[in-house]
Amino acid sequence: MNVLAIESSCDETAAAVVVDGRTALSSVVASQVDLHARYGGVVPEVASRQHLRNIGPVVREALETAGITLDQVDAVAGTRGPGLAGSLLVGYNTAKAIAFGRGLPFLGVNHLEGHIYANWLVEGPEPKFPALCLVVSGGHTDLVLMRGHGQYERLGGTRDDAAGEAFDKVGRLLGLPFPGGPHVAKAAEEGGPSELSLPRAWIPGTFDFSFSGLKTAVLHIVRAGKYDTPTVAWEFQEAVVDVLAGKTSRLARELGAAEVLVAGGVASNTRLREELHRRCPVPVRIPPPKFCTDNAAMIGAAAGYRLALGERSPLTEDIFTTNDWARVQSSVVSS
């Protein structure tokens, strides 16, 4: 089954063609990073207007690269949420309109479920259940147990900043370009262990995270005026990675998970990848970086599995903007 998938939840306009939830024939991403960089963050109205400009050409390119026409598309999927409302509406309504115009099945996909399904786009055997999923993006940090396709139980998450958000804010404090994540990681390559001791919020007895104290600690160092950017970047990255890899590996052991699946933009962080592989007691899967950050192939992968189960979304379905794993289940109706 060829699924045409569209993603526009934040600042990337993306479209892809995915076969049977596993093979991406194309994955086109038009990034708006340069447009938002001068503001130091994503400006919602600027983002939705840019999506309007990009969406047509991006969908056309996804079909052309896949070497198919709309006649060969079997179903259409769009990101339903969470994300910026104005951004979501562009991609979601485009997906609906194509489905309506062509009389094709339509499916709305949860963005975070999509991130997890990026792990199905990698060649080789499919991930095994029960899988412990670590979702680390610019907007979310969640530990979710996946017992089967579409079955999620959130066991922990951030109480304040998301991991990617913490990277981005620290990047800004250090005067690095937006988005901070990759730039902090790059600066950290020149750094190493130092006298600095940055806090790690272990929050005993829970699998929750907190990164705001760590961010404030960096703020104090920067305000004090005398610091070395690579050293601060290194110490910050180590603190984030230590807690993420520490809690994930412990929970995987306690649950007896078959595998650990990592997802979201921060999953492209090399140190996080290394530490998860080193510490987890079970196999760890991490998609290649192009499928870690926002893309539409991951949406097509999640949709492929749900469509195969007979699930469809009505064309009257609204978007949603909050992080609600219970809604992943209720976002679809069975045909």
181 lines the binding site for ligand KG4 (CB under 6 A): yes
- 111 by DSSP, 3-state: which? helix
Residue 290 burial by Cβ neighbours in a 10 Å radius (0-12, 13-18, 19+): middle
Identify which of residues 169 and 312 has a Cβ nearer to ligand KG4 in the complex: 169
146 lines the binding site for ligand KG4 (CB under 6 A): no
Identify which of residues 316 and 322 has a Cβ nearer to Zn ion in the complex: 322
294 lines the binding site for Zn ion (CB under 5 A): yes
- Residues whose CB is less than 8 angstroms from the CB of residue 212 and which lie 6 or more positions away in sequence, other chains included: 160, 161, 166
Strand order, beta sheet including 131-136: 151-157, 141-148, 131-136, 259-263, 284-285
Q: Which stretch binds Zn ion (CB under 5 A): 12-20, 136-144, 156-164, 254-262?
A: 136-144
8 lines the binding site for Zn ion (CB under 5 A): no
Give the tokens for residue 314.
């009505």
The answer to whether the peptide bond before residue 82 is cis (omega within 30 degrees of 0) is yes
In angstroms, give the least distance from the CB of 262 to ligand KG4. 11
Identify whether the C-beta of residue 128 lies closer than 8 Å to the C-beta of residue 258: yes
191 lines the binding site for ligand KG4 (CB under 6 A): no
Query: How far are the Cα atoms of 6, 17, 52, 261, 303 from residue 59, in angstroms, in the given order?
Result: 8, 9, 12, 29, 17
Identify which of residues 294 and 317 has a Cβ nearer to ligand KG4 in the complex: 294
182 lines the binding site for ligand KG4 (CB under 6 A): yes
Please give the residues from 279 up to 308 whose contact with ligand KG4 meets the rule CB under 6 A. Answer: 293-294
Q: Which stretch binds ligand KG4 (CB under 6 A): 94-102, 116-124, 179-187, 305-313?
A: 179-187
* Beta pairing partners, 131: 146, 259
79 lines the binding site for Zn ion (CB under 5 A): no
Please give the residues from 111 up to 140 whose contact with ligand KG4 meets the rule CB under 6 A. Answer: 137-139
Task: Give the residues lining the site for Zn ion (CB under 5 A).
Answer: 137, 294
Task: Give the residues lining the site for ligand KG4 (CB under 6 A).
Answer: 10, 137-139, 164, 167-168, 179-182, 185, 264-266, 268-269, 293-294
